[in-house]
Amino acid sequence: MRLTPRALHVAALIAAGGRGLRFGDARPKQFVSLGGRSILERSVDVFASCDVIDEVVVALPPDLMNRPPVLFSARKPLAIVAGGARRRDSVANAFAHVADRADVVVIHDAARPFVTADTIRRTVSAAAESGAAIAALAAHDTVKRADARRVITATLPREEIYLAQTPQAFRTAVLKDALAVDGDATDEAMLAEQAGHAVRIVEGDARNLKITTPTDLALAERLLGLAPSGAAIRIGNGYDLHRLVADRPLILGGVTIPFEKGLLGHSDADAVCHAVTDAILGAAGAGDVGRHFPDTDPAWKGAHSLDLLRRAMGIVNSTGYGIVNVDVIVIAQRPKLVPYVEAIRSNLASALGCDASQISVKGKTNEGLDSMGAGESIAVHAVALLTRT
């Protein structure tokens, strides 16, 4: 009986346990920013949003698995595991965390952020039918074999040559056999071949490039329509507004201010932190507070917004940017903010990893107009200027 991908439980393993030494950056290449988001985050998000994928397991360098420098979406069950010394060790560690009911496991290099859902579906479908399949591109150039002196020893028939990509998908039993093979290999398909399994090829995608060097990153930026390396200075705007209600503490910039009302919200409703969070994420091209800390997620209920701001600054830092200055305007008829401004500045500076002199906080009334002027709400505007670190 032929099985379609939706009749299966499919697990995705993202191999991100390496250091990417050929890239030449202090950070592992999978954490380098590409258009305001890390390469790894882009790769994971494709699988997390793909309709044929039921769970995602990410193998990270062991020293980073407990404090990953990116935040992943929670659209699918997602686990983070420690990678190993070799690629096959990372895959084996991730495979050990896959649900027992998994029928097909699809493996993908974190350094290929442009994989498409269509490519994933083709590969999974082929593996479901035949046991193992990989995405690959047919060679269009004449292919030569050379010796150690770079002297040509043979011309290979290009109609038999394919350039392997990921994803690579396997029936669970096939992958178990492959990982049991002694020795190392450049990919899991090679192990499956050595274990005696036939591996099918499905059509890959020329855009599904692997980022290995800074030149590859520049090409990836062009594919996204970006100027290479991005701009040296970035500006972002943030805005937030919350209703004032009874029986809630009033927290602004991490400071609890004595007042008969507080701001209503899913977290502590700190409008200052929320506006600044949106400003810095916007400047880095990294989304907004709702994307990273949605009010539909119970994990953030009652959360301290200063902590969320710190997390957001970690995302900004991962893109290679730091704070130049932040300017905040709080619009509230009451209470007066002057006694609390310095404490707010200090808290924001601590969360953003900068000096308080780089933070400005101003209080304004709304001259009795609208909900702010009527004392029914508080609004905050923030502007952040970032520069490359």
pLDDT per residue as tens digits for the range 244-266: 999 999 999 999 999 999 999 88
Co-location of 218 and 243 in the same domain: no
Whether pLDDT at 243 is above 50: yes
CATH of the domain at 176: 3.90.550.10
Number of domain units in the chain: 2
In a domain, 228, yes or no: no
Q: Which of 186, 205, 223 is the last residue of a domain?
A: 223
pLDDT band at 303 (very low <50, low <70, confident <90, very high): confident
Q: Which of 189, 223, 257 is the last residue of a domain?
A: 223
CATH number at residue 257: 3.30.1330.50
Query: What is the per-residue burial (b if ≥16 Cβ within 10 Å, else e) of 182-207?
Result: eeebebbbbbbbebebebbbbebbee
Mean pLDDT within 275-295: 89
* pLDDT tens profile 367-381: 888 888 888 999 999
Among 3, 19, 1, 119, smallest CA distance to 60 is for 19
Tens digit of pLDDT for each residue in 87-97?
Answer: 899 999 999 99
pLDDT band at 217 (very low <50, low <70, confident <90, very high): confident
For the segment 9-61, what is each residue's pLDDT rounded down to a tens digit?
Answer: 999 999 998 765 556 555 678 888 887 788 998 999 999 999 999 999 999 98
In a domain, 64, yes or no: yes
pLDDT of 220 higher than 60: yes
261 domain-assigned? yes
Query: Which of 22-26, 223-227, 296-300, 334-338 has the highest average model confidence (pLDDT)?
Result: 334-338
Beta carbons within 10 angstroms of residue 3's beta carbon = 12
Asked whether 239 and 271 are in contact (CB, 8 A), the reply is no
On whether both 108 and 245 belong to a single domain, the answer is no
Domain that holds residue 83: 5-223
Does residue 150 have a pLDDT over 70? yes
pLDDT of residue 27: 67
Q: Which amino acid is at 347?
A: N
Residue 250: the pLDDT is 94
pLDDT for residue 338 is more than 90 = yes
**Model confidence band, residue 1 (pLDDT cutoffs 50, 70, 90):** very low
pLDDT value of position 367: 86
